Amino acid sequence: MAKVVWDTDVSSLTRVRDEVDAVLEDFVSAREQEAPGPEMAPLFATARRLLLSNGKRLRSLLCVVGWRAAGAPGDHHAVLRVAAALELFQTFALVHDDVMDDSDVRRGGPSAHRTLAAEYTRAGGQRGRAEVHGRAAAVLLGDLLLVWSDTMLADAGLGGRAQARVLPLVDSMRTELVYGQYLDLLSTGRISQDVAAALRVARYKTGKYTVERPLHLGVCLADGGPQLLRMCTDFAIPLGEAFQLRDDLLGVFGDPAQTGKPVGDDIREGKATVLLALAFQSAPRAERRLLRALFGSTNLSGEDIGRVRSILETTGAREGVETMISSRRDATLAALEAADLPPDVTHMLRQIVWMATERIV
């Protein structure tokens, strides 16, 4: 295949997204052809909707840009497949995360277990079993997506040497996610003022996995050197944290139409976020008591959410998190300037920085 040179204009990111989507669509269609029967249709429909419903494709973009930063050798067949494997992995993580947190909504529609429960009922499933069925089926769907992400990698046509560079990174990324999720589970339901602990969870659960690992994967695929990898780390670590901090804010103050998640899920699920730790640190006694009462409560009213928001504002926690995001974004942009990468790569990374920290583009 001829080497494809991408445009360096703003449409590049959109183009990468479209190409990754096409790879995913082809892959799922091929898997569906091999499936044992029409009974599998709900699994495939749910997989397709979650995989292809306008994700940001942040990890794909970072992987492709990392590969370009290292010189983009060869055609882009392999890098698009490595990127698509990251999206399959991310969707696996979301499906299991929603089962674990019992979340109703994902990417603006029902979560996988809710979809599969509804489908079971629609198809005449046994009364009273729908919820249990939905949960079990979503565990299986997550398993399938995890297996697929691996199949996608195996079919990426990496040679033996590229494999030896890429697979250990994939392995680290996967285990880090599981460890981070477990740390998250252990801290769930315990309100705390420990900002450092909340940051540690965020780093494992999201930080490295969302920014550093995808960038490194792209760089290693293109056989980039240790200096470039170090530069990517300097860029990625603060960006990953900023991404997670923005997520904390959007979870409480975001527009559900934009985030695709209902407001207040973190409070409802009792997630020990940095935002909440900051608020709890400096809240007066009565507000602390209120936070403690609402934290982890499954039936929060709109009024309750309003009260929590107000505490997050008056304690300065919201502003504090915004400041933490800004300082991390500054560190990321400074690392980017210092790196002296080709202008088109720098341009794309700068777009990604704003996308990850402000959720624009």
For the chain, the farthest-separated pair of C-alpha atoms sits apart, in whole angstroms, at: 67
Inter-residue contact 180 to 134 (CB < 8 Å): no
Inter-residue contact 88 to 52 (CB < 8 Å): no
- Exposed / middle / buried, residue 125 (Cβ in 10 Å: 0-12, 13-18, 19+): middle
Site size toward a copy of itself, by CB under 8 A:
50
Inter-residue contact 85 to 213 (CB < 8 Å): no
Q: Tell me the window of 62-70, 151-159, 227-235, 347-355 that interacts with a copy of itself (CB under 8 A).
A: 151-159
Crossing angle (nearest 10°) for helices 160-187 and 130-154: 150
Q: Binding to a copy of itself by residue 140, rule CB under 8 A?
A: yes
Q: Binding to a copy of itself by residue 361, rule CB under 8 A?
A: no
Inter-residue contact 108 to 262 (CB < 8 Å): no
Q: Tell me the window of 16-24, 184-192, 243-251, 281-289 that interacts with a copy of itself (CB under 8 A).
A: 184-192
Residue 102 phi, psi dihedral angles, 5° rounding: 55, 45
Q: Name which of residues 264 to 323 contact a copy of itself (CB under 8 A).
A: 296
Measured from the CB of residue 265, what is the shortest distance to a copy of itself in angstroms? 15
Q: Name which of residues 324 to 343 contact a copy of itself (CB under 8 A).
A: none
Inter-residue contact 265 to 104 (CB < 8 Å): no
- Exposed / middle / buried, residue 95 (Cβ in 10 Å: 0-12, 13-18, 19+): buried
Instruction: Using CB under 8 A, pick the residue from 111, 181, 273, 332 that binds a copy of itself.
Output: 181
Q: Binding to a copy of itself by residue 144, rule CB under 8 A?
A: yes
Measured from the CB of residue 268, what is the shortest distance to a copy of itself in angstroms? 13
Q: Binding to a copy of itself by residue 197, rule CB under 8 A?
A: no
**Which residues sit at the interface with a copy of itself, rule CB under 8 A?**
31, 34-36, 39-40, 43, 96, 99-102, 120, 125-126, 129, 132-133, 135-137, 139-140, 142-144, 146-147, 150-151, 154, 159-160, 167, 171, 174-176, 178-179, 181-183, 185-186, 188-190, 204, 296
